[in-house]
Amino acid sequence: SRPLYRGALISPLGKILLQCLLRLCAVHTVIHFLPFSYSQTKGIRALAGALRDYLHLTDGKTEAQRGEVTCQGLGLLSAGQFPGSASLPDAGQGSAFSPTDEVVLKFEMGHVRARNLAYDTLPVLIHGNGPTKLQLNYLGNYIPRFWTFETGCTVCDEGLRSLKGIGVRLGTVVLGVAPVPSYSLLCPHPQEQHHRAQVEQFLTEHGDKYQSVKLVGPEVRMANAEARNMGADLCRQDRTCTYYFSVDADVALTEPDSLQLLIEQNKNVIAPLVTRHGRLWSNFWGALSADGYYARSEDYVDIVQGRRVGVWNVPYISNIYLIKGSILRAELLHPDLFHHSKLDADMAFCANIRQQEVFMFLTNRHTFGHLLSLDNYQTTHLHSDLWEVFSNPEDWKEKYIHEDYTKALAGKLVETPCPDVYWFPIFTEAACDELVEEMEHFGQWSLGDNKDTRIQGGYENVPTIDIHMNQINFEREWHKFLVEYIAPLTEKLYPGYYTKAQFDLAFVVRYKPDEQPSLMPHHDASTFTVNIALNRVGEDYEGGGCRFLRYNCSIRAPRKGWALMHPGRLTHYHEGLPTTRGTRYIAVSFVDP
C-alpha cells in the first residue's frame, strides 16, 4: 500500500476495489449515496479521494490515454459489505446525493447506471444505510446489468434449485390458509362462521392428502396476527419443515406448479405476483413512503403488466409467499412476526423481515394467478359466489359459465330443435346446482294460483310455483348475466334485433308430480324468453319438456345447463309438458316485455 489521498493509506482490499471500479467504469464524477455512516474509514476515504483525483487527472484525455478503462458497468457497494462504521465525508463540492427520489435509473445499451437528477451526475460509488437501503435494493435489481431492456433478467436462473428428476422426499411444506381453504401440513383459519361448512367439506374430501391438519375455527376468536404467527410457528418448531407457504383466501392460483416454481427459485422469502383482473392492485409494493406505507416505484406498473419480467427485491409482499423453514429457525426465530408497533399484520410482517435484513423477493416469471376482490363479499347467502359477477367477473365466468359457451357465441354449438327456437350451453353444473340450492334454502315458493302480490296488478294469468330473482336480491346480478352472456347471442341469432336485456320477471320454477307437474298453453310476456334447465332428466326427474303448439314441435330431453331461447309473443304459443317423477327446475327470464 502507498499513500493515495491526503496521506491516508488504502488497504489491499480497497486497492483491489479501486482497480476493479476503474476497469469497469468510465465516469466523470464521484458521487456518494447520502451522508450516512460508512465503514473502514481510512480505506474508503482513500478510495473515494483516489477516484476523484484519478478522474481529475484523466479528464479530457482520450480513451487510449486512460488505459484500459471501459464503460461497462457501475460498482455497487453497500454498507453491509464492510465491518464497523464511520462517517464518510464529502469527496467534493456537489457530490452528495439528494433525497432518494432524485436518484433514477439510466438505461444504456446492455447495462444500467444510477443518475442523480439534481446534479445530472452518474455515480461510481453508491452507498445506502438506514431507510435508504430500500432504494439501494431497488437499484440493485438493475445495476450494473442484472436487468436490461436488451437482455431482460440476467441473474434469474442463478442459484436455482432444480426439482426435476428428484425421487427423494423433499421435506414438509406447512400450508397456512387464511381465512378459508380454496403438501404437507394444512393450517386453515376461517374467521367467519359462514365458512365452517365449506372448510369441513374441504377437509372431508381432501384432508387425507395432508400429513396432518390443524383447524382453527371462529369460535377460538383468534386475531389475524396470532393465527398467522401460529402457522409460521408450526413450521418453525418442526425440524422437518422445509418451507412455510402462506396463502390468503383472496388468492386464486391458476398455475398448478406454483409451489414447485417458487421452491426452485431458491430464495429465503419469495412471493409470486398476483393482481386483480384489469387493475394495478397487486400483492407487492415497489417502494415505501417516508411513513412506511405504499409508494409507487418507477417500475411498478411495468412489473405488474409484465413489461419487465424477473425476480425483484421489494420492501413489501402480502397475500401469498413462501418462506424457508431454515430462515424461520434462524434470522426469523422470533415467534411474533406479525406484530410491529401499530401496523397491520401484513405490514408488520414485512417490517420485521426488513429489520432482520432478510430480503423479500417477488417473481413475475410465470402467470401464477390473480387476486379476488372481497371488499363487497356477502355472507348472507348460501352460495355467496353467485353475487360476485360485478366484483370478480372473470372468476364468476370461470365458475358459472359453460366451457362451451364461446363455441355457441361463435355459432359452432347452437342447435335449432324447432323453428326460431335456439338451444345452446350457458351454465356450468355449479351454476345450476347452486341456484337451485339457493332457492330451496330461501324456501318461499309461491302457491301457484292466480293471486300473486309480487307482480303488478296482483293477478297472474298463467301461474307457476316459483321464486323471483328479486326475492333473493339477485335481480341486479341476473340482469348483468343477461347483458353479458345472453344479449350477444340474441343479436347473432336474431339479426337486426338489439337488446339491453331488460326484464320484469325472472324466476326459478319448480315442477313436481304432486305439486304442479305441467303448465297450460300460453304466450310469454316478453319479446323473447330464455329458459335454462337446472337439473338433469332421467336422473333428477322423468318427463317434462316444452311443446310449441303452432309447430307441433317438442323438446322432451332438456340438457342441464343449456338454454332454450325463443320469441315470447304471437308466434311461439307453448306449454310445459308433465313431470312424472322427481323434481324439475328451470330458470326463466321474460326479456324486453
Catalytic residues: 584
Contacts of 50 (CB under 8 A, 6+ apart): 4, 5, 10, 18
Q: Give the residue among 483, 488, 535 at the shortest CA–CA distance from 506.
A: 483
Residue whose C-alpha is closest to residue 466's, from 508, 515, 512, 504? 508
- Does residue 3 have a cis peptide bond before it, meaning omega lies within 30 degrees of 0? no
Strands 185-188 and 172-178 turn out to be parallel
What CA–CA distance (Å, rounded) separates 358 from 390? 39
Q: How far apart are CA 325 and CA 245, in angstroms?
A: 10
Residue written as cell 464521484? Answer: 30
In sequence order, the β-bridge partners of residue 187 are 176
CA–CA gap between residue 369 and residue 276 (Å, rounded): 9
For the chain, the distance separating the N- and C-terminal CA atoms, rounded to the nearest angstrom, is 94
In angstroms, the CA 584 to CA 517 distance is 9
Cell of 486: 345472453
Burial of 376 (0-12, 13-18, 19+ CB in 10 A): exposed
489 closest CA partner among 429, 410, 421, 568: 410
Instruction: Round to whole Å and give the CA distance between 200 and 187.
Output: 13
CB 214 within 8 A of CB 329: no
Give the Cα separation of 227 and 246 in Å (integer): 11
DSSP 565: E
- The residue type of 197 is A
Nearest CA among 266, 264, 238 for reference residue 175: 238
Q: Take residue 381 and report the three cell numbers written for it.
A: 347467502
Residue 449 DSSP SS3: coil
